[in-house]
Structure 1
Amino acid sequence: MVVTQASTIINVWRGVDVPASNVELPVVVIGAGPVGLAAAAQLLARGLTPRVLEAGPQAGTAVREWGHVRLFSRWAELVDPAAEKLLAAEGWIRPPDDAYPTGAQWAEQYLRPLADALGDAVRFGATVTGVARAGRDRVVDAGRDEQPYVVQVRHADGTEERITAQGVIDASGTWSTPSPLGADGLPAAGEREAAGRISYRIPDLGDPTVRARYAGRRVAVVGSGASAFTALAALAQLAQSDPATSTQWVLRRGVGASTFGGGDADQLPARGALGLRAKAAVDSGQARVLAGFRVTAIGRADDGDGLVLVADDGRRSEPVDEIIALTGLRPDLSFLSEVRLDLDARLSAPTTLAPLIDPNVHSCGTVYPHGAAELAHPDDRMYLVGMKSYGRAPTFLALTGYEQVRSVAAALAGDHEAAARVELTLPETGVCGGAGVLDEPDAAEAEAPAGGGGCCGAPAVVSLGANLLSVAR
Structure 2
Amino acid sequence: MSDGCCGPAAVEIEPFTSASSTGNGGERSAPPVVVIGAGPVGLAAAAHLAERGLGFLILEAGRHAGASIAQWGHVRTFSPWRYNVDAAARRLLTAEGWTEPDPDWLPTGAELIEDYLTPLATHPAIAPHLRFGATVSAISRQSHDRVRSTGRQDDPFVIRLADGEEIHARAIIDASGTWNTPNVLGANGLPAHGESDAARFVDHALPDVLGTDRATYEGRHTLVIGAGHSAATTLLALAQLQDTPVTWAIRAGGAERTYGGGAADALPERGALGTRLRTLVEDGRITLLTSFFTHTVTTTDAGVTVTGRTPGGEQSITADRIVAATGYRPDHSIASELRLDLDPVLGSTRALAPLIDPNHHSCGTVPAHGEAELAHPEAGYYAVGVKSYGRAPTFLMATGYEQVRSVVAALAGDLDAAREVHLELPETGVCSSGLAEAQEAKEARVGLAIGIGGGLLATPLPLVTVGGDDGGCCG
Q: TM-score, normalised by structure 1?
A: 0.85
Tell whether the 8 Å contact from 1:270 to 1:446 is kept in structure 2 after alignment. no
Kindly indicate whether residue 56 of structure 2 is the aligned counterpart of residue 45 of structure 1: no
Cα deviation, residue 120, structure 1: 1.2
When the two chains are superposed, the root-mean-square deviation of aligned CA atoms in Å is: 2.6
Quick one: which amino acid aligns to residue 307 of structure 1?
A: V
User: Cα distance 1:225–1:467, how it changes in 2: closer, same or farther (>3 A)?
Assistant: closer
Cα deviation, residue 262, structure 1: 3.5
User: Cα distance 1:31–1:122, how it changes in 2: closer, same or farther (>3 A)?
Assistant: same
User: Cα distance 1:18–1:132, how it changes in 2: closer, same or farther (>3 A)?
Assistant: farther
User: Cα distance 1:102–1:20, how it changes in 2: closer, same or farther (>3 A)?
Assistant: closer
Kindly indicate whether residue 164 of structure 2 is the aligned counterpart of residue 167 of structure 1: no
Secondary structure at the counterpart of residue 204 of structure 1: coil
Kindly indicate whether residue 202 of structure 2 is the aligned counterpart of residue 198 of structure 1: yes
Alpha-carbon separation, structure 1, partners of 2:37 and 2:190: 27
Alpha-carbon separation, structure 2, partners of 1:18 and 1:138: 25
Q: 1:170-249 counterparts in 2 under 5 A?
A: 170-208=174-212, 210-238=213-241, 242=242, 244-249=243-248
Kindly indicate whether residue 27 of structure 2 is the aligned counterpart of residue 28 of structure 1: no
Cα deviation, residue 206, structure 1: 3.2
1:141 to 149, 152, 163: 149
Higher mean alpha-carbon deviation, 258-267 vs 162-171, is at 258-267
Quick one: which amino acid aligns to residue 337 of structure 1?
A: S
Cα shift readout 1:31-84 (whole Å, capped 9, x = no counterpart) = 000000000001111111121100000000001110000000000000000001
Q: 1:6-405 counterparts in 2 under 5 A?
A: 14-17=6-9, 24-117=30-123, 118-154=126-162, 159-208=163-212, 210-238=213-241, 242=242, 244-255=243-254, 257-300=256-299, 304-313=301-310, 314-405=313-404
Alpha-carbon separation, structure 1, partners of 2:308 and 2:104: 44
Secondary structure at the counterpart of residue 342 of structure 2: coil
Tell whether the 8 Å contact from 2:13 to 2:54 is kept in structure 1 after alignment. no
User: Cα distance 1:270–1:95, how it changes in 2: closer, same or farther (>3 A)?
Assistant: same
Alpha-carbon separation, structure 1, partners of 2:335 and 2:10: 20
Alpha-carbon separation, structure 2, partners of 1:259 and 1:403: 29
Aligned to 1:417: 416
Higher mean alpha-carbon deviation, 273-282 vs 329-338, is at 273-282
Alpha-carbon separation, structure 2, partners of 1:293 and 1:425: 39
Cα deviation, residue 324, structure 1: 0.4
Alpha-carbon separation, structure 2, partners of 1:168 and 1:326: 31
Alpha-carbon separation, structure 2, partners of 1:144 and 1:266: 51
% of aligned pairs identical?
52
Cα shift readout 1:426-457 (whole Å, capped 9, x = no counterpart) = 234422279x9xxxx9788259xxxxxxxxxx
Cα deviation, residue 261, structure 1: 2.3
User: Cα distance 1:375–1:358, how it changes in 2: closer, same or farther (>3 A)?
Assistant: same
Cα shift readout 1:108-132 (whole Å, capped 9, x = no counterpart) = 1100110001111111000011111
User: Cα distance 1:113–1:20, how it changes in 2: closer, same or farther (>3 A)?
Assistant: closer
Cα deviation, residue 105, structure 1: 0.3
User: Cα distance 1:61–1:428, how it changes in 2: closer, same or farther (>3 A)?
Assistant: same
Quick one: which amino acid aligns to residue 271 of structure 2?
A: G
Q: TM-score, normalised by structure 2?
A: 0.85
Cα shift readout 1:356-391 (whole Å, capped 9, x = no counterpart) = 111011111221211000000001111010000000
Quick one: which amino acid aligns to residue 173 of structure 2?
A: I
Tell whether the 8 Å contact from 1:296 to 1:310 is kept in structure 2 after alignment. yes
Alpha-carbon separation, structure 2, partners of 1:413 and 1:329: 32
Cα deviation, residue 19, structure 1: 6.7
Tell whether the 8 Å contact from 1:17 to 1:414 is kept in structure 2 after alignment. yes
Tell whether the 8 Å contact from 2:13 to 2:30 is kept in structure 1 after alignment. yes
Secondary structure at the counterpart of residue 207 of structure 1: coil
Tell whether the 8 Å contact from 1:308 to 1:316 is kept in structure 2 after alignment. no
Tell whether the 8 Å contact from 1:133 to 1:144 is kept in structure 2 after alignment. yes
Alpha-carbon separation, structure 1, partners of 2:60 and 2:147: 29
Secondary structure at the counterpart of residue 94 of structure 1: coil
Cα shift readout 1:88-124 (whole Å, capped 9, x = no counterpart) = 1221100000000000100111001100011111110
Higher mean alpha-carbon deviation, 425-434 vs 75-84, is at 425-434
Aligned to 1:457: none
User: Cα distance 1:266–1:465, how it changes in 2: closer, same or farther (>3 A)?
Assistant: farther
